[in-house]
Structure 1
Amino acid sequence: MKVIFAGTPDFAAAALKAIAEAGFDIPLVLTQPDRPKGRGMQLQASPVKQMAESLGLAVAQPASLRNEEALALLQAQNADVMVVAAYGLILPQAVLDIPKHGCLNIHASLLPRWRGAAPIQRAIEAGDAETGICIMQMDAGLDTGAVISEHHYPLKPDETSASAYQALTELGASAIVTDLQQLAKNGSLSAVAQTENNATYAQKLSKEEAKINWQEPAKIIERKIRAFNPAPAAWTVWQDAPLKIWQAKVVNQSGRAGEVLSFDAEGLVVACGEQALRITELQPAGSKRMNIAAFAAGRQIEAGSLL
């Protein structure tokens, strides 16, 4: 069975590797064009391109799929199915119609909850008890296609987007291989249409929304800290500069919102709109991430001061 693959980040690269290792014929891999990265702003290939090249697979990096050249390239592959995972380009209907069995998407949520760009982060931010992977038959809408299979992942109380991302990367790779094997065996896949009444949208994250509002309850802020880890990272202002907050626990203390209640090698305790947070890992501007003991060495924040 011929499988075109389209994806860009390491979430997708893991799926590409799993599909290749399962023995499927992959005549073409699509990924985003190389982007400048790092201090030197050198062009860097995406994780999917790097994986494809290590597997000896043909790679194309069109800036758009809305042109005759891209359509002709895809049609020439005579593919049975196309697998899409965090590709980053919209697939027009003309592309969706090219493979014999259409296009399958690996989406990191339990659809129809958290359609869109940041499903893992929004699930953690909202306090969801679980998330997961859905393999979806793509249509022209935004993550609105019928669901072929869903795979649940319980979110731990201390779950960050980083840890959930890694778990769902592995789950997605396994799930798509299972469904492709079913397609190869049976010649078709059953799918269940999504219901619109439970749909939610996972909007892309911004640095501005990651700024901590100390007026919010501590439990809400704590979830945001975990949701925005590793990016864009929750932050506040200390000494007129951004201070990133990487880890904190809710504590049953109170004070003015943003007031420092105590500061020592055990934690920086800051009052919130309800209760308080004990911050145990942070990152001052121009420094690396550090635990609170390292931060406290040589630094002083007076109780009663405001962040």
Structure 2
Amino acid sequence: MARAFLFPGQGSQAVGMGKALGEAFAEARAVFAEVDDALGAPLSTLMFEGPEAELTLTANAQPALMAVSLAAIRVLEAQAGLDLSCDAAFVAGHSLGEYSALAAAGALSIADTARLLRLRGKAMQAAVPVGEGAMAALLGVELEAAREIAAEAARGAVCQVANDNGGGQIVVSGTKAAVERAIEIAKGRGVKRAVPLPVSAPFHCMLMQPAADAMRAALATTRIDAPRVPVVANVTAAPAREPEEIRRLLVEQVTGTVRWRECVDFMAGEGVDKFVECGAGKVLTGLLKRIAPQAAGISVGAPADLDAYRGFV
């Protein structure tokens, strides 16, 4: 039996996330305090109390989700005997969750991760004027068919596969008109559902190149250590172990496809049969059921989850 630890991405945020962990455990409070100090702002108050509209802003949601994920890891280490170096075959995170995975594995400090994600969120939001980009979910379609739909829809503009989430769920991203064309083409090809997503920017496509450039500059001066556990990277669906490789892949990730289905398939193929999602929500645990139904999954984001975790492992 082998375990992997997963870290959620944007969309899993909710007002109140992490609050119960912070109330129950000093280890969680220490993480939240470290993130607040790194950002010079009370992000934890926003996480616990809202307002939701402000928490959902990309520049807030990204470091906030990381904070809850790292709080969950620290609590598991202190209260449930977790030692990632011994207990995890791999770690992986969805989009911004890859930064959480790297911090959990010791490649990045929590403070640096918070600052990087605040910058990443701001840079991604600023890369494309509001209203000029869009994203859409295509449900009931496989990767190659989605790529063909995106290519046909582009017509000289940008339309790319942003996320391959597994279970026939593909997200496309690009200019607003091209994504709207992709929705119509998908419907014409019998795709089960094709729906626009309520996002503030077209993530994980070439329109994000200005954000990739900003992250390249920031990562160039950030200390990255070799992770204690191999990190399965979004853009390669393969383990990354060397600091310079990690630096390069984090830049590529901004404009590249999140190959989540392949990431989970890789880990399952390497013998992982238990997956632990750390942080807010249960999105990745839900996707796991569609990608690797033979594997078991559990989410840890509140004090009540600790007993379930102890029984799970």
TM-score range, shorter chain: under 0.3
Instruction: Considering fraction of residues, name the structure with more strand.
Output: 1
Higher helix share: 2
Bigger relative contact order, structure 1 or 2, given CA contacts below 8 A and separation 6+?
A: 2
TM-score by length of 1: 0.25
TM-score normalized by the length of structure 2: 0.25
- Which structure's CA Rg is the greater one? 1
